[in-house]
């Protein structure tokens, strides 16, 4: 109770006798790092105006998350696979005080601007947006030192309700987390635009990757049987969207019995087309709007057929969405967890702009699929620590529930989107003086499976060793500037740094041996044949690698379910122990080492360097290597 009571006490004390709040006790709690796009500071707020102040309280027990995850995910743990129920997760991490307050984790109090300014040692201004919207805000705020450990966030303060115009000329040229899925964000797979007109076979896999090439490369031959109890989710951020005729064109050539098959749509925050119900947007059609979704779905659907695929289509066409939005949809408690989403980075719903999704945000509308692949990312240099940490903890919780979350590691080697590096303040900066490597988030989060990219070398076959991808894209990899090294990778990463010390200074990357290294593993990311806008093209990227690894994990889940053969129709939560959940502790363990093809050639250049080098064992280019499905399957089947 201590934290809450003190906050309330301070509020009432302040209301009664503000002078008792000594300025010297205050420490800065939050400061805005990026100016809010589109909002203009207008004038000082009226001292008598009433502010509905919301104080978000810190969750408890988060420091135990990594150990708890090890208990359910390490192959040597006696409690391997004993995943938690959503209720147990919510209760365990809720703020201890929450039971006395109806809205979990929040205190609400109406105060005048004058009082809020004294309480938080700040100045409030009115900000205006071209859309006509107004909001109160401040640049930074402080709270007394002795309560700062209990308070997560106070609103309204430095956070803005972003309503970003769709006019690209208004937007910054660099990748911006506000614009996940926006074509100009520099994300998504790359194409060389050429139409493919060649006879394809296993002999041409060095130039053209098809589902058969991947099956041969990774010994991936499996037809699922327990599809009703299994699930595989693909996340897409609007305006990225698939085109149904493209799926059928791909199926026609590579899996004709799937013609007409579609993913099961979960529409998150207006992900569904406002014009045509039950389908995603089809207004914008070209590679930059359809390439990512077509790629992800074509390969995930064919490689796991007949497993139904869940499409988590996130964000409306006006505002779009951030990573937190899909997490809200699969975990209602995350909507308010530690003060809720970050309006600087996420979509805020209802969206009141013309054509926007003007309905409540999608909280807890779907169960988390057991495997989720997300081929989107942002630079750590554009994420605040608070934002990245809150979200990373949520991936840890999904792991406790038995869900595997995979993210592509990035396509720019050690640099960020658009080849941008960080300056010495740790911020994205395209000046040549910015030499710091730019790790990719969320893959840099220790509770995510980060997937890098490999290639079949020119003239080589599916039976030859692959190299790190150096065609069109470079595999994202390196060391986090936010997250410490998790215990599961300590041996592998320490070995890499000791045996192959990279020739770079601490100004270029966190070389202390204490930072999280990524990616965790990899799969082919070069020369994928996809059907796109009515023709076949070649695409490149870790965007391709992630759904392929996700497909393999999904098929292993299927085999685990099939082996236990529960009664038909049994409630799927009874099988929760059968899903692999967070696989990193397993794939780094010595037991699993032989199930990966170690990649020992290639680099991931960026920031005017050659980047890191793929070597024997784990490396920050290709992780532990590419999976050999036939070897991986019995290992996972052998676990409890």
Ligand X SMILES: *[C@@H]1O[C@H](CO)[C@@H](O)[C@H](O)[C@H]1NC(C)=O
Q: Which two tokens stand for residue 158?
A: 């430095």
Q: Is residue 294 part of the contact set for ligand X (CB under 6 A)?
A: no
Q: Is residue 295 part of the contact set for ligand X (CB under 6 A)?
A: no
Binding to ligand X (CB under 6 A) within 196-235 occurs at 196, 200
User: The tokens 């999608």 sit on which residue?
Assistant: 362
Q: Which two tokens stand for residue 490?
A: 């300590």
| Least distance from ligand X to the Cβ atom of residue 196, Å | 5
Taking the least distance from each CB to ligand X, the nearer of 52 and 534 is: 52
Q: Is residue 506 part of the contact set for ligand X (CB under 6 A)?
A: yes
Helices (H), ranges, 156-263: 211-217, 244-254
Taking CB under 6 A as the criterion, the residue among 484, 501, 634, 640 binding ligand X is 484
Q: Which stretch binds ligand X (CB under 6 A): 143-151, 172-180, 465-473, 504-512?
A: 504-512
Taking CB under 6 A as the criterion, the residue among 12, 99, 192, 253 binding ligand X is 253
| Least distance from ligand X to the Cβ atom of residue 373, Å | 24
Q: Which stretch binds ligand X (CB under 6 A): 1-9, 36-44, 425-433, 617-625?
A: 425-433
- Residue 543 annotated as catalytic: yes
Taking the least distance from each CB to ligand X, the nearer of 10 and 599 is: 10
| Least distance from ligand X to the Cβ atom of residue 252, Å | 7
| Least distance from ligand X to the Cβ atom of residue 528, Å | 11
Helix (H) or strand (E) holding 555: helix 542-564
Q: Is residue 424 part of the contact set for ligand X (CB under 6 A)?
A: yes
Distance CA 610, CA 61 (A): 41
Distance CA 319, CA 356 (A): 7
Taking the least distance from each CB to ligand X, the nearer of 117 and 481 is: 481
Q: Which stretch binds ligand X (CB under 6 A): 166-174, 340-348, 424-432, 436-444?
A: 424-432
Residues ≥6 apart with Cβ < 8 Å to 17: none
Q: Which stretch binds ligand X (CB under 6 A): 55-63, 137-145, 234-242, 509-517?
A: 509-517
| Least distance from ligand X to the Cβ atom of residue 271, Å | 30
Please state the three-class secondary structure of 322-373 as a single string: CHHHHHHHHCHHHHCHHHCCCCCCCCCCCCCCCCCCCCCCCCCCCCCCCEEE
Q: Phi and psi of 483, rounded to 5°?
A: -105, 135
Q: Are 215 and 555 in contact (CB under 8 A)?
A: no
Which residues are paired to 89 by β-bridges?
A: none
- Residue 46 annotated as catalytic: no
User: The tokens 């965790």 sit on which residue?
Assistant: 520
Q: Is 598 annotated in some ligand binding site? A: yes
Spell out where 533-611 has E strands: 535-540, 596-597
Taking CB under 6 A as the criterion, the residue among 514, 563, 564, 616 binding ligand X is 514
Count of residues touching ligand X (by CB under 6 A): 20
| Least distance from ligand X to the Cβ atom of residue 141, Å | 19
Distance CA 434, CA 426 (A): 9
Taking CB under 6 A as the criterion, the residue among 110, 131, 201, 630 binding ligand X is 110
Taking CB under 6 A as the criterion, the residue among 286, 512, 590, 630 binding ligand X is 512
Helix (H) or strand (E) holding 561: helix 542-564
Q: Is residue 33 part of the contact set for ligand X (CB under 6 A)?
A: no
Q: Is residue 536 part of the contact set for ligand X (CB under 6 A)?
A: yes
Distance CA 312, CA 180 (A): 14
Distance CA 288, CA 184 (A): 8
- Choose, from 206, 296, 298, 342, the residue flagged as catalytic: 296
Q: Which two tokens stand for residue 84?
A: 């938690």
Taking the least distance from each CB to ligand X, the nearer of 441 and 474 is: 441
Which residues are paired to 527 by β-bridges?
A: none
Taking CB under 6 A as the criterion, the residue among 392, 529, 538, 552 binding ligand X is 529
For residue 349, CA distances in Å to 333, 335, 471 come to: 16, 11, 40
- Choose, from 30, 292, 294, 520, the residue flagged as catalytic: 292
Q: Which two tokens stand for residue 86?
A: 């959503």
| Least distance from ligand X to the Cβ atom of residue 20, Å | 22
Q: Is residue 562 part of the contact set for ligand X (CB under 6 A)?
A: no
Distance CA 37, CA 58 (A): 28
The pairing of strands 309-314 and 264-268 is: parallel
Helix axis angle, 542-564 relative to 629-637, nearest 10°? 40
Helix axis angle, 385-400 relative to 86-93, nearest 10°? 140
| Least distance from ligand X to the Cβ atom of residue 249, Å | 8
| Least distance from ligand X to the Cβ atom of residue 112, Å | 12
Q: Which stretch binds ligand X (CB under 6 A): 151-159, 363-371, 418-426, 626-634?
A: 418-426
Q: Is residue 497 part of the contact set for ligand X (CB under 6 A)?
A: no
Distance CA 372, CA 163 (A): 28
Taking CB under 6 A as the criterion, the residue among 425, 505, 590, 630 binding ligand X is 425
Taking the least distance from each CB to ligand X, the nearer of 268 and 482 is: 482
- Residue 294 annotated as catalytic: no
Q: Is residue 423 part of the contact set for ligand X (CB under 6 A)?
A: yes
Q: Is residue 510 part of the contact set for ligand X (CB under 6 A)?
A: yes
Taking CB under 6 A as the criterion, the residue among 114, 216, 427, 593 binding ligand X is 427
Taking the least distance from each CB to ligand X, the nearer of 380 and 429 is: 429
Residues ≥6 apart with Cβ < 8 Å to 30: 140, 141, 153, 154, 157, 158, 386
Q: Is residue 444 part of the contact set for ligand X (CB under 6 A)?
A: no
- Choose, from 446, 543, 545, 551, the residue flagged as catalytic: 543
Tell which phi-psi region holds residue 593, choosing left (phi > 0), alpha (psi between -120 and 50) or beta: alpha
What sign does the dihedral 392-398-400-405 (CA atoms) show?
negative
| Least distance from ligand X to the Cβ atom of residue 12, Å | 13
265: buried, middle or exposed (CB in 10 Å: 19+, 13-18, 0-12)?
middle
Q: Is 599 annotated in some ligand binding site? A: yes
Closest CA to 443 of 431, 433, 432, 451: 451
Q: Which stretch binds ligand X (CB under 6 A): 18-26, 344-352, 491-499, 508-516?
A: 508-516
Q: Are 528 and 277 in contact (CB under 8 A)?
A: no
Q: Which stretch binds ligand X (CB under 6 A): 23-31, 54-62, 234-242, 423-431?
A: 423-431
Binding to ligand X (CB under 6 A) within 181-200 occurs at 196, 200
Taking CB under 6 A as the criterion, the residue among 108, 145, 570, 573 binding ligand X is 108
Q: Are 135 and 127 in contact (CB under 8 A)?
A: yes
- Known binding site for Ca(2+): residues? 598-599, 617, 619
- Known binding site: residues? 598-599, 617, 619
Question: Can you give the binding site for ligand X, defined by CB under 6 A?
Answer: 52, 108-110, 196, 200, 253, 423-425, 427, 429, 484, 506, 510, 512, 514-515, 529, 536
Q: What amino acid positions are annotated as catalytic residues?
A: 292, 296, 543
């Amino acid at each position: 109770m201590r934290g809450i009571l003190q906050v309330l006490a301070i509020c009432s004390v302040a209301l009664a006798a503000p002078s008792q709040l000594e300025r010297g006790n205050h420490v800065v709690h939050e400061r805005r790092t990026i100016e809010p796009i589109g909002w203009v500071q207008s004038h000082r707020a009226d001292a008598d105006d009433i502010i509905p102040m919301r104080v978000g309280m810190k969750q408890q027990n988060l420091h135990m998350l990594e150990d708890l995850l090890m208990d359910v995910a390490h192959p040597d743990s006696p409690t391997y696979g004993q995943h938690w129920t959503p209720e147990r997760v919510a209760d365990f991490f809720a703020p201890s005080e929450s039971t006395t307050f109806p809205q979990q984790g929040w205190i609400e109090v109406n105060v005048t601007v004058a009082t809020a300014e004294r309480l938080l040692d700040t100045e409030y201004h009115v900000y205006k947006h071209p859309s006509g919207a107004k909001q109160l805000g401040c640049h930074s705020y402080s709270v007394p030192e002795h309560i700062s450990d209990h308070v997560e966030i106070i609103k309204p303060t430095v956070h803005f309700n972003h309503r970003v115009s769709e006019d690209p000329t208004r937007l910054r040229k660099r990748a911006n987390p506000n614009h996940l899925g926006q074509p100009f964000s520099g994300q998504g797979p790359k194409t060389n635009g050429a139409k493919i007109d060649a006879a394809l076979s296993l002999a041409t896999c060095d130039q053209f990757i098809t589902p058969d090439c991947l099956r041969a490369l990774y010994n991936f031959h499996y037809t699922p049987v327990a599809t009703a109890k299994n699930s595989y989710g693909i996340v897409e951020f609007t305006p990225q969207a698939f085109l149904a005729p493209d799926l059928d064109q791909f199926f026609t050539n590579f899996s004709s019995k799937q013609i007409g098959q579609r993913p099961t749509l979960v529409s998150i925050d207006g992900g569904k087309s406002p014009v045509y119900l039950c389908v995603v947007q089809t207004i914008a059609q070209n590679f930059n709007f359809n390439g990512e979704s077509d790629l992800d779905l074509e390969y995930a659907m064919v490689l796991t057929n007949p497993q139904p695929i869940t499409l988590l289509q996130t964000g409306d066409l006006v505002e779009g969405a951030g990573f937190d939005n899909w997490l809200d949809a699969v975990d209602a408690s995350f909507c308010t967890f530690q003060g809720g989403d970050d309006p600087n980075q996420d979509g805020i719903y209802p969206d009141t702009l013309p054509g926007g999704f003007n309905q409540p945000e999608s909280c807890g509308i779907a169960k988390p699929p057991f495997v989720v692949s997300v081929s989107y990312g942002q630079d750590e240099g554009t994420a605040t620590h608070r934002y990245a940490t809150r979200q990373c903890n949520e991936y840890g919780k999904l792991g406790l529930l038995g869900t595997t979350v995979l993210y592509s590691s990035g396509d720019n080697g050690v640099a960020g989107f658009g080849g941008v590096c960080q300056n010495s303040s740790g911020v994205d900066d395209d000046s040549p003086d910015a030499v710091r490597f730019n790790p990719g988030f969320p893959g840099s989060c220790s509770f995510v499976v980060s997937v890098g990219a490999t290639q079949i070398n020119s003239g080589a076959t599916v039976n030859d060793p692959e190299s790190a991808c150096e065609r069109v894209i470079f595999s994202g990899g390196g060391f986090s500037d936010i997250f410490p090294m998790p215990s599961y990778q300590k041996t592998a990463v320490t070995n890499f740094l000791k045996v192959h010390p990279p020739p770079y200074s601490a100004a270029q990357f966190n070389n202390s041996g204490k930072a999280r290294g990524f990616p965790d593993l990899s799969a082919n990311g070069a020369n994928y044949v996809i059907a796109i806008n009515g023709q076949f093209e070649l695409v490149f990227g870790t965007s391709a690698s992630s759904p392929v690894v996700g497909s393999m994990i999904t098929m292993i889940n299927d085999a685990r379910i099939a082996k236990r053969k529960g009664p038909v129709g049994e409630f799927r939560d009874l099988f929760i122990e059968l899903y692999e959940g967070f696989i990193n502790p397993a794939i780094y363990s010595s037991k699993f080492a032989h199930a990966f093809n170690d990649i020992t050639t290639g680099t991931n250049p960026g920031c005017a360097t050659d980047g890191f080098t793929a070597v024997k064992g784990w490396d920050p280019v290709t992780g532990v290597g590419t999976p050999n499905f036939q070897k991986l399957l019995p290992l996972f089947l052998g676990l409890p």
